[in-house]
Structure 1
């Protein structure tokens, strides 16, 4: 039974033949699980070694690069500061930003030259965004001649990748992110999926990607354990799976993870696990679905067979509550699951049992999600270091430790044998010139 359930995220939904090994269309790549097919991925670099090009990106944005053909895209935001910010009673701290300008930036893959720098939107009354976050944290999605750039409540935009012109926009999907948005958009078929989990409203919606019109919207209807809106917000990106012929749109949130019918938005099941600020994207491998509970620090391995309605505890095959990722997503390679905690503890566990194979403290703190390429796991930290670690070793085995100026909030992208890294200030292509 479980052999038939060995379905990775997007295995039936992203049509991999449209993307292939030479592209990275959205958050966590063509298969949405951090896997790259490169056999000759670069493992050693510095500011002076193996940098094909380095391009400055204006503004502030933690979105990851996406790659298709000869184009590499990121989103960013320019902030205009308020010299006299005023706090709102009962709300977040005083907003130091009085205006935000949102951009989609296209860089030539071969040269690093900026091809398009399209201003998408100006928000003259921006919500508060925590300094740790950015106004441009959600990773865009690219396919064919279109880029879908999402910034949460401030707006969602469809951009012609040839001209850089905006084809349609939606700025009416509102919630109070309270600390800023981070959930990335997902595309399958003719639909664009968005999750908006704010302090006030929490909902999932599907748009017609051709026109931007709403196809369906589903309220999360979570019975929270508190009225504090700060505990209701979440940052998770949806994952698409198919189990027993039934497609699932799996959407983490605060306190719960739910699955919806991708065509209608009808809720299929929900797992209550507690927690807040959920960000890690679920993955499916070896007959189990792996997800985290956010800041309660639990990793759960869930048996997908027969899930329906409220999910009982019996559906959880095992759970782990030590050194679990909150912000970085999970990575499965063979029968091993890899994760990096926010405070820098890398762990390798058995996917079948949750037994810890090894655990190692790395340097710094982490927000970036790991990727797998050439048998190695790449962990990028917030001070600019990347640790390349063997995926098949029974103990922590460091291949190389690399350093670039700036730090990593964005996750890596790998297309062909090129590694694309975004620091807080620049976009890099790592590989041969």
Structure 2
């Protein structure tokens, strides 16, 4: 071995000493911890992605163990997916390394086949994530299950059975997290409620009864404005647009506006809420409302949207505009504050996936797997289209500059083409 000179040894020791004096900076992963990302907004600001996909756009692809409409979720450099065996109804949760696509673990959960809507799947609920655990809900007619798994290895931490779930079309609502609570709507065709479980133990912390008027598939979100207590915002046929105290489940207010079931989820921007209902494969009603500023006031209907209303896709709001993707393939851009129509244009295909805004551009994925990218502007501008080669009903997820698109059987990872300022 070559000898190190005294001068070199002294330099190395000095350099090492300097390095040990420099604090190590750990990389903080981004997360997309629930259906449509943080608070269900559907917005990601830090990276931009290609408007047309090529073979070089894909970082990796993976085959899923089953079929489902559940959307991916991301935390701590891992991607989590939920699928089901079409022949047995068995649930399959899988974890993947975000950067490489390596499968980290797979966890089967019991299930069985039962009648459902042809457009639904046995795995349509999207998991929710905190710093250490994954929370997932699925239902068979005899029972609605909620399970907590360790994100690191898929170990079951707890599981609860919330009782029978009766629905003509199957299950689909997703859990969300509020502080140390896992909150899940259990709004079905018989006795209904909203339930909050202790995230550490699965114990019921509160359970609020709800009126019953056909199963609700929408996923709640939170309203958190300066100087006001947090509100849990839910939608259903029976209650319209409603607010609960997420700490206790106490009802705060409701606007009983709907005459149809809810599938798409509410979107909150400040104290404004946009939500829709529908039936027969199309949206029938949509309202934009303002939450009351005190307990002595009533919520206010700002306006009603009367045409090209989304039923399954959830809207997305960005820079004072509200973007609505009608299931039959029409995108509308409204002024959020007034409802004034800025533009409306037809897109190729039909849609169940909800639009998301990534790096200031709108990404929509059709039921047959066409990716349509639009500009966020006061004029309609089509930026590009791509084909995935397989259909999807799922909404994309994104974190750490990697976009995850889940089709019926596959998972596609698309790499960013640039980093943007977080204030975009």
TM-score under structure 1 normalisation? 0.84
Q: Match for 1:192 among 182, 201, 204? A: 182
Q: Is the 8 A contact 2:92 2:107 kept in 1?
A: yes
Task: Tell me how far apart the structure 1 counterparts of residues 190 and 297 of structure 2 sit (CA, whole Å).
Answer: 23
Matches within 5 A, 1:23-102: 23-46=31-54, 48-80=55-87, 99-102=88-91
Q: Would the alpha carbon gap of residues 320 and 20 (structure 1) be closer, same or farther in structure 2, given more than 3 Å must change?
A: farther
1:281 is aligned to 2:265: yes
SS at match of 2:390: coil
Task: Name the CA distance, whole Å, in 1 between partners of 2:270 and 2:155.
Answer: 43
Unpaired runs of at least 5, structure 1: 1-18, 81-98, 225-231
CA distance in 1, matches of 2:130, 2:255: 32
2:164 to 174, 178, 182: 174
Q: CA deviation at 1:266?
A: 1.1
Give how far 1:338 is off: 0.3
SS at match of 2:302: strand
- Matches of 1:118 and 1:195 in 2, distance apart? 24
Distance 1:245 1:52, change over 3 A: same
**Which of 409, 415, 418 is the aligned partner of 1:425?**
409
- Which of 355, 360, 366 is the matching residue for 1:370? 355
Please name the residue that 2:236 is paired with.
253
Q: Deviation digits for residues 272-296 of structure 1, max 9, x if unmatched? A: 1123231222222265221113335
Match of 1:123 in 2: 111
Q: How far apart are residue 306 of structure 1 and its match? A: 4.3
Q: In 2, Cα distance between the equivalents of 1:103 and 1:234?
A: 24
Matched-pair contact (CA < 8 Å) for 2:68–2:82: yes
With structure 2 as the length reference, what TM-score do the two structures score?
A: 0.85
Whole-angstrom distance in 2 between the partners of 1:293 and 1:324:
9
Task: Give CA deviations for 1:381-429 in whole Å, capped at 9, x if unaligned.
Answer: 10101111110x2221011111101112110111132111001110010
Do the aligned residues in 1 keep the contact of 2:29 with 2:76 (CA within 8 Å)? no
CA RMSD across the alignment: 2.1
What is the aligned residue count? Answer: 383
Query: Structure 1 308/364 Cα, relative in aligned 2: closer, same or farther at 3 Å?
Result: farther
**Is 2:258–2:285's contact at 8 Å kept on the other side of the alignment?**
no
1:327 has 2:312 as partner = yes
SS in 1 for 2:86: strand
Q: Report the Cα distance in structure 2 between the residues aligned to 1:310 and 1:303, rounded to whole angstroms.
A: 11
| Counterpart Cα distance in 1 of 2:164 and 2:40 | 26
Distance 1:285 1:154, change over 3 A: closer
Are 1:206 and 1:217, in contact at CA under 8 Å, matched by a contact in 2? Answer: yes
- Check 1:24–1:257 CA distance in 2 against 1; reply closer, same or farther (3 A cut): same
Residue of structure 2 in register with 1:382 after alignment: 367
Q: Distance in 1 between matches of 2:50 and 2:30?
A: 15
Equivalent residues of 1:280, 1:294 under 8 A apart: no
- 1:371 & 1:250 partners in 2: Cα distance? 20
Asked if 1 retains the 8 angstrom alpha-carbon contact of 2:223 and 2:270, the reply is no
Whole-angstrom CA distance in 2 between matches of 1:24 and 1:159: 17
